[in-house]
Chains A and B, each alone.
Chain A
Amino acid sequence: EVQLAESGGGLVQPGRSLRLSCLGSGFRFGDYAVSWVRQVPGKGLEWISFITSKAYAETTSYAASVKGRFTISRDDSNGVAYLQMNSLKTEDTAVYYCTRLGPNYTDYWGQGTLVTVSS
């Protein structure tokens, strides 16, 4: 069974950093791209980043709202993807989901981890 488990969320002050982790299991982690999607409480889903597999050069992409502040990476040996979030803003407060990215669509999602940016 494909499973994705996010961790690392919590309360952080504006301007500080936080790193989210996504542990994948039940599939060959290294064969798939991974993306992060967030949902501000009461709002819709927002795609924020993806990283392709090593076969596709671990290419990364970011939404304009996080480009230059967030960095996605992966460690296939441990089946983990990361989202390093720097210079956090109050508007980054959201539930962050890790997803498995198939050929141009997300097919599995984690349960999400809540990030609250507040002083």
Chain B
Amino acid sequence: QSALTQPPSASGSPGQSVTISCTGTSSDVGGYNYVSWYQHHPGKAPKLMIYEVSERPSGVPHRFSGSKSGNTASLTVSGLQAEDEADYYCCSYAVGNIYVFGTGTKVTVL
């Protein structure tokens, strides 16, 4: 099972929006509505930001949103803030009762 494909980096100025894509196949992203997104500040535990494609856990700001079209899921961060600078990973349930993570995207707030 190959890792889901994410762009290595994304950036935006404070207040702008950034969208991160996560491309898989019909065996993972396209086949299930079980895509989740994690924010990871180096040296800290990753944090769940989105689950089941577009659901936001309590405590996660509304400016984080998720969507999916076909085999590609997306995470959008609106109104970028300095503390949003981190690595972001998507994850999908996949055929074979396994999970697969994305390659990761480093978000930089300019």
Contacts and interface: CB of A to CB of B under 8 A. Distances in A.
Interface of A: 35, 37, 44-47, 50, 59, 61-64, 97, 102, 104-112
A61 B1 CA distance: 13
22 contacts: A35-B99, A37-B101, A44-B3, A44-B101, A44-B104, A45-B40, A45-B46, A45-B89, A45-B91, A46-B3, A50-B99, A61-B98, A64-B1, A97-B46, A102-B51, A104-B32, A104-B52, A105-B36, A105-B52, A106-B38, A107-B51, A110-B45
Interface residues of B, number: 27
B109 interface: no
Q: Pick from A47, A97, A105, A110 the residue with the most CB of B within 10 Å.
A: A105
A46 B44 CA distance: 16
Contacts of B36: 105-106
Contact of B101 (A45, A102, A110): A45
A-B complex: 7 closest residue pairs judged by Cβ atoms = A105-B36, A44-B104, A104-B34, A47-B99, A109-B45, A105-B51, A45-B101
